[in-house]
């Protein structure tokens, strides 16, 4: 429960909510010092300093929360969010003072910080991550059936309800006109997108990412049917009762990974059957398992589906798997190239070997950012790292390169 509350509050902050000044922790229980260090590669002191500060903040947060018995629930929240955003600890340390900030031995950056740990600042860390890696843009594709009549995606009442609720919380959407245009011009690929057939489908990925800018698709079906006798009290013979059923999925367009799924049902009544169906859909979306709604105090409480999308997209954005196919290097040179990727390229979290395909080595790079950011790192760091890197092909989650060792 604590985890859900953190994400709900964090997302409210990330979407432009007012920042509330947090009181300084009482006494010195949340105060401490810690030292972090990082190796300097190719003279890039800026990258080394960033990593040293992250290391110091992470140690400070773990030290303070681990020693403070009353902060056990805070530690649980920190552990949950740190699995999403590795550097979230940086945003949790306030009133920082640098006791040491220097290069030692010519190849190591060492930072010693003093500061106060604010566990609830996790929301600021998530907001910062969204700003750094790009707030996701959404496309909604819902096939809707009311009164036996099917409405194709593009401008359904269900889509508008989703966009209104999530839009009020800061989510950005592809406009309906663009969706309708794509449905007409590229119906076959859009049908695949509606079915969630995105993983490994470069045509669909390029269509969605390049032509609309959407990074997440919410797709599914919504149906509304007349309720059976006895399901709802008929206090007025002129009222029409309808039961809506929704089935939704959210998918990361870059990877094809499912971010969240949900199914829900809810009833509603109105003198007009179509309006009763729309109200029933809104009632479904307003439950705590789907999008959520305002509480009795007028504060929006995000639902599980919305929170799950936020959490999974952040995880994907900060550890996005990019397939890297590398040709031109022997085994020893490939080992040095993997070291170059993991130690010298900002944003690279991990490099794994996935095998060989002909003359190409297959690597998977977990990267904090988009593919274009990784290729920019190649361009900026390759020469100093001793590699001539030629990009042959680049897709949303796959890059093919030819590399030559130069020194």
Token pair in block for residue 263: 């199914």
Q: Which domain holds residue 336?
A: 319-405
pLDDT at 121: 63
Average pLDDT estimate for 234-254:
82
Q: Which of 118-127, 203-212, 329-338 has the highest mean pLDDT?
A: 329-338
Token pair in block for residue 197: 């057939």
Q: Domain boundary residue among 133, 152, 176?
A: 133
Q: Domain boundary residue among 133, 167, 191?
A: 133
- The reply to whether 274 and 288 lie within a common domain is yes
Q: How many domains, the chain?
A: 3
Q: Is the pTM of this model over 0.75?
A: no
Q: Are 389 and 372 in contact, with CB atoms under 8 Å apart? A: no
Tens digit of pLDDT for each residue in 104-140? 988 899 999 999 887 666 556 556 665 655 567 899 9
Place of tokens 């819902």: 142
pLDDT at 227: 77
Beta bridge partners of 351: 365
- The reply to whether 166 and 78 lie within a common domain is no
CATH of residue 158's domain is: 3.40.50.10610
DSSP characters for 73-97?
HHHHHHHHHHTT-TTHHHHHEEEEE
Is the pLDDT higher at 113 or at 206? 113
User: Could you tell me where the beta strands, DSSP code E, fall in 255-303?
Assistant: 258-270, 292-294, 300-302
Average pLDDT estimate for 85-98:
72
pLDDT at 57: 87
pLDDT at 88: 57
Place of tokens 């944003």: 347
- The reply to whether 22 and 148 lie within a common domain is no
- The reply to whether 324 and 178 lie within a common domain is no
Average pLDDT estimate for 76-100:
66
Is the pLDDT higher at 336 or at 21? 336
Give the pLDDT band (50/70/90) at residue 41: confident
**How long is the chain?**
407
CATH of residue 40's domain is: 3.30.1660.40
Average pLDDT estimate for 192-214:
81
Query: SS3 for 287?
Result: coil
Of the candidates 234, 216, 227, 207, the one whose C-alpha atom is nearest the C-alpha of residue 267 is 227
- The reply to whether 312 and 323 lie within a common domain is no
Tens digit of pLDDT for each residue in 154-180? 778 899 999 998 888 878 898 888 888
Q: Are 266 and 280 in contact, with CB atoms under 8 Å apart? A: yes
Is the pLDDT higher at 241 or at 311? 241
Question: Does the structure show a pLDDT above 80 at 338?
Answer: yes
Q: Are 305 and 252 in contact, with CB atoms under 8 Å apart? A: no
- The reply to whether 186 and 278 lie within a common domain is yes
- The reply to whether 254 and 108 lie within a common domain is no
pLDDT at 15: 39
Q: Domain boundary residue among 81, 99, 133?
A: 133
Question: Does the structure show a pLDDT above 80 at 91?
Answer: no
- The reply to whether 249 and 157 lie within a common domain is yes
- The reply to whether 169 and 198 lie within a common domain is yes
Q: Are 292 and 300 in contact, with CB atoms under 8 Å apart? A: yes
Report strand pairing: 137-146 vs 216-226: parallel
DSSP characters for 107-124?
TEEEEEEEEEE-GGGHHH
- The reply to whether 165 and 280 lie within a common domain is yes
Average pLDDT estimate for 374-402:
86
Mean pLDDT over the full length of the chain: 79
Whole-number Cα distances in Å, 400 to 30, 324, 339:
48, 6, 18
User: Taking every pair of C-alpha atoms in the chain, what is the biggest distance, in angstroms?
Assistant: 86
């Amino acid at each position: 429960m604590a985890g859900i509350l953190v994400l709900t509050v964090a997302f409210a902050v990330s979407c432009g909510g007012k920042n509330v000044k947090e009181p300084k922790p009482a006494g010195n229980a949340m105060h401490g010092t810690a030292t972090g260090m990082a190796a300097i590669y190719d003279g890039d002191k800026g990258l080394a300093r960033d990593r040293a500060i992250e290391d110091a903040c992470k140690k400070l947060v773990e030290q303070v929360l681990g020693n403070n018995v009353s902060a056990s629930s805070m530690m649980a929240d920190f552990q949950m969010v740190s699995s999403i955003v590795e550097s979230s600890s940086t945003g949790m340390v306030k009133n920082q003072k640098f006791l040491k900030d220097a290069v030692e031995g010519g190849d190591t950056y060492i930072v010693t910080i003093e500061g106060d740990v604010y566990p609830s600042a996790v929301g600021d860390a998530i907001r910062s991550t969204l700003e750094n890696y790009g707030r996701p843009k959404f496309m909604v594709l819902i096939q809707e059936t009311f009164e036996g009549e099917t409405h194709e995606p593009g401008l359904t009442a269900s889509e508008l309800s989703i966009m209104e609720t999530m839009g009020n919380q800061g989510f950005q959407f592809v406009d309906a006109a663009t969706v309708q245009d794509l449905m007409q011009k590229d119906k076959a690929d859009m049908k695949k997108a509606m079915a969630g057939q995105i993983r490994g489908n470069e045509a669909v990925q390029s269509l969605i990412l390049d032509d609309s800018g959407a990074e997440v698709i919410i797709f599914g079906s919504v149906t509304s049917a007349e309720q059976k006798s006895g399901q709802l009290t008929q206090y007025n013979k002129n009222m029409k009762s309808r039961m809506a059923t929704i089935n939704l999925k959210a998918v990361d367009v870059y990877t094809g990974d499912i971010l969240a799924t949900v199914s829900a049902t809810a009833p509603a009544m109105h003198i007009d059957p179509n309006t009763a169906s729309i109200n029933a859909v809104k009632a479904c979306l307003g439950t705590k398992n789907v999008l959520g709604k305002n509480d009795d105090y007028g504060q929006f409480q995000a639902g599980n589906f919305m929170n799950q999308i936020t959490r999974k997209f952040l995880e994907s954005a900060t550890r996005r798997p990019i397939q890297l196919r590398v040709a031109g290097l022997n085994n020893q040179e490939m080992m040095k190239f993997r070291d170059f990727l993991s130690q010298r390229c900002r944003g690279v979290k991990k490099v794994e070997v996935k095998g060989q395909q002909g003359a190409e080595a297959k690597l998977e790079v977990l990267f904090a950012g988009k593919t274009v950011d990784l290729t920019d790192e190649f361009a900026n760091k390759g020469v100093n790292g001793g590699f001539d890197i030629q990009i042959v092909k680049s897709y949303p989650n796959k890059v093919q390169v030819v590399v030559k060792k130069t020194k």
